[in-house]
Amino acid sequence: MEENKSSSNSNEDILARLRQRNENQGQKGPNRNEPRQRYLAFKLGEEWFGLEVSQIREISRLDNLTRVPLTPTHVMGITNLRGNITAVIDIRGVLGLERRSLTNSARIIVAGAQGLEAGIVAELVSEVIEIARSQIEPPLLTLGHERGKYSTGVVQQSERMLVIINLSAVLVDLKV
Amino acid sequence: MLDLMTLSLKNETLELLIVRVAEVQLAIRSSSIKRLENFRLKALNKVDKIGHPALLGYISPNFTAVFDLARLLKLETPGSANEPDETGKKESQLLQIEYKGYLAGFVVDQAQEVVRVNLAELDVLPSVVEKARLRPAAWALWRKDEQEILILIEPTEAISAEEWEQLNRQET
């Protein structure tokens, strides 16, 4: 009984401290009623990126790529995804990331915005997370020019920082 | 649902020669090819002043300009089998294609097969770069049986009118 009581007390303490933290955060803390958007978290190099789920058509394995003549280095090739010939692009270069070799974990994220569509290569796709708009901070200056240019914001999570990709900017600049 | 254009192309066919270049399979219209022969780089007459980065030299007797198709289409990869062969002994194949009244030669690794395809099966390539740069490779074909995409190319379209003029001046 004593143990339960102390456990209950400590839970109350924790809740109180969480409430206090939320109050301290003021506007920055997500409001429970605030609408949330879903993002797909994926990895490029040692960094995590997020892409709005509403912009994604499908996620597919990276195989049967056909190289296309006279294309820049960010174009890995084209592939047939359920009857649609889709361009596959590697955005690591434009984000200033090292282009290390891809493993079996690599996936193609077929996504589109403003009538443009392409398959974006991810080294690893992890999960879909819900993020409230108030959790998204403006892109950090420390991200560097390229990453800042192709990002709509960043979300600080417990163990990682997620850079939200500005898909329209990427697709328009890469002439997809 | 077929659109009118697809319908009008339904019964039209195209004969294509499939070639391998730098580990990529490409299709070239058979009707544009005047000659296909085995070829060694040492058969070339090299010139001091090379007028184009993909120009390998000229062959007799007509002083036909010979291009490395992999280099012309930017398909070379470091360490690929298509890297220049210093010994000149490597055997490739040479396609001769007529362009504006002249013959141009294009070196490929190997010609593989001739296929006849229905025009309605050709898809426009996704615009992965500026359309103008894609002129030599504007169409793709999905070969269901082989589960592969073939890219249809027009090699002569990879040489601009100015470059062509410069090459012909060099020839004379």
Alpha-helical runs (H) found in chain A: 2-25, 145-149, 167-173
Do residues B16 and B115 lie in contact, with contact meaning Cβ atoms separated by under 8 Å? yes
CA distance A54 to A38: 8
Whether the Cβ atoms of residue A85 and residue B138 lie closer than 8 Å to each other: no
Indicate whether B106 belongs to any domain. yes
Q: What is the pLDDT of residue A141?
A: 63
Give residue-wise pLDDT tens across range B108-153.
999 999 999 888 888 888 776 555 556 777 788 888 777 889 999 9
Evaluate whether residue B4 is within a structural domain: no
Q: Which residues have CB under 8 Å from B159's CB, separation 6+? A: B52, B67, B72, B99, B104, B167
In a domain? residue B85: yes
Whats the size of chain B, residue-wise?
Answer: 172
Rounded-to-integer distance, Cα B98 and Cα B75, Å: 23
Q: Do A70 and B74 touch (CB under 8 A)?
A: yes
Q: Which stretches in chain B have pLDDT values below 50? A: 1-2, 4, 81-82
Structural domain contains residue B5: no
ipTM of the complex: 0.76
The structural domain count of chain B equals 1
Distance, CA of A134 to CA of A9 (rounded, Å): 32
Asked whether residue B71 is domain-assigned, the answer is yes
Angstrom distance (rounded) from CA A48 to CA A67: 27
For residue B9, the surrounding DSSP H or E stretch is: helix B4-9
- Across the interface, of B130, B137, B148, the residue whose CB is closest to A68 is B137
Whether B165 is in a domain gets the answer: yes
Instruction: Give residue A121's pLDDT.
Output: 97
- Residues 36-95 on A with a CB inside 8 Å of B are 64, 66-72, 75, 78-80, 83, 85-87, 89
CATH number at residue B16: 2.40.50.180
Checking phi first, is residue B88 left (phi over 0); if not, alpha (psi -120 to 50) or beta?
left
Residue B55 lies in a domain: yes
Backbone φ and ψ of A32, nearest 5°: -60, -35
pLDDT at B87: 62
Question: pTM for the full model?
Answer: 0.77
Cα–Cα–Cα angle for B21, B71, B172, rounded to 5 degrees: 115
Domain membership of residue B7 (yes or no) is no
How many CB atoms are located within 10 Å of the residue A92 CB? 19
**B1 at interface of A, judged by CB pairs closer than 8 A:** no
10-residue block means of pLDDT along chain A (176 residues)? 50 63 56 86 95 96 89 90 90 90 95 93 96 87 69 88 93 81
Structure tokens at A85: 């010939």
CATH number of A49-173: 2.40.50.180
Nearest Cα of chain B lies from the Cα of A69 at a distance, in angstroms, of: 5
